[in-house]
Amino acid sequence: MSGLTEQDCSHINVTPLTGVLGAEIDGIDLTSGLSDRVVEEIEHAFAQHSVIVFRNQNIQPEDQKRFTRMFGEFGVEPYVKTMPDHPEVIEVVKDKSEIGVKNFGGNWHSDWSFQEAPPRATILHAKEVPPYGGDTLFANMYMAYDTLSSGMRRMLDGMRVMHSARRPYGIDNKLFGTAKRSMTIINTEEAHAEYAHPAVRTIPQTGRKALFINPVYAIRFEDMTERESRPILDFLNDHATRDEFTCRVRWQPGTLTMWDNRCVQHNAMNDYDGFSRRLHRTTVAGDRPSI
């Protein structure tokens, strides 16, 4: 857990977005390196708010990569073609010509939760945004867990969930369909593999438990069929994304948002047909989830 208190954080200004999740941080310029002390203060704010937003950052991929590495190693980016000169960066893009096309990230999920060690954090920097729409919603999985009944919490504390990339990236291509798109999505048999994670994980920086399921990658409970699991997963997915657990980020060119995949789900709105939206995404590697 961070040794800092709010009063110690004198190098950054933190303004909460809502009473439950997210904060904007100002006083930071990401075109150059940050001191260890500033990174420590950002880590403190990140542990408190789980989603942090920096506005007006006129940065290049090299700057974003430097910022990403301040929080750990790069994560592994599967199934989506990365930028030719930057294998650590995915360009998240939907072009104005892609009318009625499913967008990348447009369902509640936690990034790459099917990996053995899913990314701790994702960092997304807006290059081009529509005049309205294209916001990203975030939901607080600490609150999702804390507000379950004691019986449900006890049951989930002992369960593991199988995660798989097969819905978006498997060979039957269910989520994205076959529309031509600006992003190159790779559909493969490998995406059908399943990986077990605890249904509830403890985040070391806060010592708090968070619900760790999501409707895209969490397929079933371990040792249960999909049909047996479905009613409980459906309930949990609805519960976890209740309005009162969420915040919403409205993008501007230069906005950079970092979120904690261990305790947050997110969902990119697809309400901007006829306009282009383009952002650069990096991830920070994480640990194997543990209870």
The site for ligand SIN (CB under 6 A) is made up of: 92, 104-105, 111, 122, 124, 136, 266, 268, 279, 281
Q: Which lies closer to ligand SIN via its Cβ, residue 105 or residue 286?
A: 105
Q: Which residue is at the shortest CB distance from ligand SIN?
A: 105
**Residue (of 47, 36, 35) closest to 5 by Cα position:** 47
To the query of whether residue 163 is one of the catalytic residues in this protein, the response is: no
Q: Given 44, 49, 220, 266, which residue is catalytic? A: 266
Q: What is the Cα–Cα distance from 263 to 201, expressed in whole angstroms?
A: 8
Catalytic, 192? Answer: no
Closer CB to ligand SIN, 112 or 221, in the complex: 112
Which residues make Cβ contacts (< 8 Å) with residue 206, sequence separation at least 6?
1, 47, 142, 263
- Supply the minimum distance, in Å, between the C-beta of residue 148 and ligand SIN: 25
Distance CA 206, CA 146 (A): 14
In the set 49, 111, 163, 262, the catalytic residue is 111
Q: Which of these is catalytic: 44, 49, 109, 160?
A: 109
For the bound state, the minimum distance from the C-beta of residue 260 to ligand SIN, rounded and expressed in Å, comes to 13
CB nearer to ligand SIN: give 30 or 268.
268
Find the shortest distance in angstroms from Cβ 53 to ligand SIN. 12
**Closest to ligand SIN by CB, 72 or 133:** 133
Q: Is 281 a catalytic residue?
A: yes
29 assigned to active site: no
* CB contact set of 144 (below 8 Å; sequence gap of 6+): 210, 211, 236, 239, 240, 241, 242, 245
- Residue (159 or 263) nearer to ligand SIN, CB: 263
Shortest distance (Å) from residue 111 CB to ligand SIN: 6
Output the smallest distance, CB 246 to ligand SIN, in A: 14
**108/221 with CB nearer ligand SIN:** 108
User: In angstroms, what is the minimal distance from the CB of 244 to ligand SIN?
Assistant: 21
Annotate the chain with three-state secondary structure. CCCCCHHHCCCCEEEECCCCCCEEEECCCCCCCCCHHHHHHHHHHHHHHCEEEECCCCCCHHHHHHHHHCCCCECCCCCECCECCECCCEEEEECCCCCCCCCCCCCCECCCCCCCCCCCEEEEEEEECCCCCCCEEEEEHHHHHHCCCHHHHHHHHCCEEEEECHHHHCCCCCCCCCCCCCCCECCCHHHHCEEEEECEEEECCCCEEEECCCCCCEEEECCCCHHHHHHHHHHHHHHHCCHHHEEEECCCCCCEEEEECCCEEEEECCCCCCCCEEEEEEEECCCCCCC
Supply the residues annotated as catalytic. Answer: 109, 111, 266, 281
